[in-house]
Amino acid sequence: MSAQITTVGLAINPDKKLARQLARTATALLKRAGVRVLSAHGDVAALAARSQLLLVFGGDGTMLRVAREMNGAQTPVLGINAGALGFLTVVPAERMEKALRAVLAGRYTLRARAMLKMDIVRQERWLPAHYALNDVVISRGAAARIVRMAVGIDGEPLTEYVCDGMIFATQTGSTAYSMSAGGPILTPGTEAFVMTPICPHSLTNRSVVVGRSAVVETRILSQPEELVLTVDGQVRVSLRSADTIHVRRGNRQFQLVQPDGYSYYETLRRKLNWSGANV
């Protein structure tokens, strides 16, 4: 964003009182700076198309929803944290005004975050694609039975998994469900995504880091009683036996604004309660 910012769109989680309060404060600040302020009114893609910058008020779940609903628009997004965790909503509520002034003055970094594209092939028919900023998860839902699936990469068989499910995570999503399941953290700029089995029944089944151009194909072998696929924990798709799920790095990116002074590693230490180290 080299040009001066004159139009800013607001996407607000209406269920969070703090988000609504922060949005009102931000609106007043922006208008004093001569910036035009637009609201979503339910159509995030249209809002993104009309804005030079999107401000998202909520938690990381709100950011994930906005990322999908932008439908590939490359409008930069700045997240204001009115939730609990805040890996994507990088600006804490108490630093919002300082961060906004820095961004309006051009003091920020723009980081492109990769998104996954997921397709399901069912009886030789391709179902509508979905995009994920965090992860795509195959899980058994409320059923108690294990899941059997055959996994291949770029058309070559990898192995058959017997497990409770499978997580496909981006660099962004590597600090979410995948990490909880024992997967690695992919630091910013990692040109890859990760595949992490959930409670595998073999000690040799571990996370696999997959290159950016690879296509992972997962075929469901078991009878999927209540077997589901979720996209960013928000979109739910029922699966059937013999479905094949194709996961790859998509052609969409999410443009994340990081104000001057933001540190990914400081955020990682703070959110994961890691101690600092002198290097």
Catalytic positions, please? 60
In which region does residue 71 sit, left (phi positive, over 0), alpha (psi from -120 to 50) or beta (all else)? Answer: left
Phi/psi at 30 (nearest 5 deg)? -65, -40
- Of the candidates 209, 206, 195, the residue with the CA atom closest to the CA atom of residue 166: 195
Q: What is the CA radius of gyration of the chain?
A: 20
Q: What six digits make up the tokens of 73?
A: 């628009």
C-alpha angle 111-276-187 in degrees, rounded to nearest 5? 30
C-alpha 261/C-alpha 255 separation (Å) is 18
CB-based contacts of 43: which residues, under 8 Å, 6+ apart?
Answer: none
User: For the chain, how are helix, strand and coil distributed in percent, rounded to 5?
Assistant: 20, 40, 40
